[in-house]
């Protein structure tokens, strides 16, 4: 997609203002106004070509952990955990923290290889095999959370850690609370040298959820589409078809990255989306006129800026993706992507 230099945007605003140069104060003000107007343009449509991602496979997190704290800033136990697979040695589920510091070994929740005890700890290396099983390589650290044994030394068998009521804490404080969920997190861990897998690649942070399907949609066949609600953790899927589903396909909008140029504005090579270029120039000039008390002229420039933005929005409207990605086909019996 085409871009233009930030310096050219600044020069165009200066030309519109009819001045040879801006003061240092005005340059700072204009740079902040540019980011403000960039945010407005970004939010006018959920499916700008530059930001939309269609049908990306995402993990469905099985539970969230809350209530813990730790003095080490790199060790944050709270968060969402997704099912990575079943252990190759005892078929117990292995859950991995959805958003993790990728410089650290994986933070996992699983059962002991020899008992029913649930633990939370780091392990030196975890490999997701081609058959979907999980293999542990190397020694793990001391368990930060460990299920407390019964009086006879045995461990009550729970399907997932949310059933455990008593934990022993090591290196962490608080009271662990596991809440079952069907959550698609805004951020997703990608596999690094400590967590290896075939075919896994880094994922973008989700800026705005648009649609969630059970299977890959917009390709050949119909796909069940999920309703969801949002909270600070991500998208919570309503009435998931099967509790065994570990992945869904998400259509979403990438987050906005604001411009970072803070000096030598007219020579900056930072990239400006071409589709926003003229809107930014005229809308920021309108703001500049308001700063100068010229409100009548500002209204004229505001309308011109809106015309540029409307032209870009119209391009979205006349393309077919407005009908397939951003809209749903509805009948009296279903709401499915076709």
* pLDDT tens-digit readout, 78-134: 888 988 888 888 889 989 887 765 556 778 899 988 889 999 988 767 777 878 788
- Between vectors from CA 127 to CA 121 and to CA 132, what angle results, nearest 5°? 110
CA 229 to chain centroid, in Å, comes to 15
- Is pLDDT above 50 for 193? no
| pLDDT mean across residues, the chain | 86
Banded pLDDT at 178 (limits 50, 70, 90): very high
CB atoms within 10 A of CB 338: 12
Where are the chain's structural domains? 3-50+256-321, 54-253
- Is pLDDT above 80 for 225? yes
Helix (H, G, I), strand (E, B) or coil at 170: coil
Q: Which residues pair with 59 in a beta bridge?
A: 247
- Is pLDDT above 60 for 192? no
CB atoms within 10 A of CB 174: 13
Residue closest to 82 by CA, chosen among 106, 117, 55: 106
Q: For residue 63, what are its two tokens?
A: 């539970």
- Is pLDDT above 80 for 185? yes
Q: Please answer whether residues 310 and 41 qualify as being in contact, where contact means their C-beta atoms are separated by less than 8 angstroms.
A: no
- Is pLDDT above 70 for 36? yes
Question: What does the pLDDT read at residue 232?
Answer: 87
Average pLDDT over residues 15-26: 94
Helix (H, G, I), strand (E, B) or coil at 14: helix
Q: Please answer whether residues 97 and 81 qualify as being in contact, where contact means their C-beta atoms are separated by less than 8 angstroms.
A: yes
Average pLDDT over residues 27-32: 96
Tokens 């015309």: give the residue.
307
Distance CA 57, CA 216 (A): 8
Distance CA 175, CA 173 (A): 7
Question: What does the pLDDT read at residue 98?
Answer: 76
- Is pLDDT above 50 for 194? no
Q: What is the pTM of this model?
A: 0.81
Tokens 């292995």: give the residue.
94
Question: What does the pLDDT read at residue 280?
Answer: 98
Candidate from 5-14, 193-202, 314-323 with smallest mean pLDDT? 193-202
Average pLDDT over residues 41-65: 92
Q: For residue 189, what are its two tokens?
A: 């861990």
How many residues make up the chain in this entry?
A: 338
54 dihedral zone (left: phi>0; alpha: psi -120 to 50; beta) = beta
Candidate from 160-169, 174-183, 238-247 with smallest mean pLDDT? 238-247
Question: What does the pLDDT read at residue 338?
Answer: 43
Question: What does the pLDDT read at residue 75?
Answer: 64
Distance CA 170, CA 71 (A): 12
């Amino acid at each position: 997609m085409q871009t233009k230099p930030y310096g050219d945007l600044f020069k165009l605003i200066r030309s519109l203002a009819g001045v040879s140069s801006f003061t240092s104060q005005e340059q700072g003000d204009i740079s902040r106004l540019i980011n403000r107007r960039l945010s407005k343009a970004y939010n006018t449509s959920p499916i700008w070509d530059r930001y939309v991602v269609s049908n990306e496979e995402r993990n469905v997190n099985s539970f969230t952990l809350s209530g813990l704290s730790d003095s080490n800033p790199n060790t944050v136990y709270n968060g969402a955990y997704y099912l990575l697979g079943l252990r190759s040695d005892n078929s117990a589920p292995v859950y991995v923290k959805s958003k993790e510091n990728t410089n650290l070994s994986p933070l996992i929740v699983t059962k002991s290889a020899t008992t029913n005890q649930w633990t939370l700890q780091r392990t030196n290396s975890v490999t997701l095999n081609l058959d979907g099983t999980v293999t542990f390589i190397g020694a793990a650290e001391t368990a930060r959370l460990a299920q407390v044994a019964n009086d006879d030394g045995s461990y009550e068998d729970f399907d997932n850690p949310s059933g455990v009521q008593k934990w022993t804490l090591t290196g962490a404080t608080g009271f662990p609370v596991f809440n079952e969920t069907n959550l698609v997190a805004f951020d997703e861990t990608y596999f690094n040298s400590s967590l290896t897998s075939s075919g896994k690649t880094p994922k973008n942070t989700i800026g705005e959820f648009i649609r969630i399907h059970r299977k890959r949609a917009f390709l050949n066949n119909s796909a069940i589409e999920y309703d969801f609600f949002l909270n600070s953790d991500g998208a919570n899927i309503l009435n998931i078809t099967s509790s065994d589903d570990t992945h869904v396909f998400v259509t979403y909008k990438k987050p906005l990255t604001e411009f970072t140029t803070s000096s030598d504005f007219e020579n900056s090579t930072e990239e400006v989306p071409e589709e926003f270029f003229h809107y930014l120039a005229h809308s920021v000039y309108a703001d500049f006129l308001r700063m100068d008390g010229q409100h009548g002229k500002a209204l004229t420039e505001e309308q011109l800026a809106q015309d540029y933005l409307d032209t870009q929005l119209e391009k979205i409207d006349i393309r077919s993706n407005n009908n397939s990605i951003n809209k749903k086909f509805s009948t009296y019996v279903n709401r499915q992507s076709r």
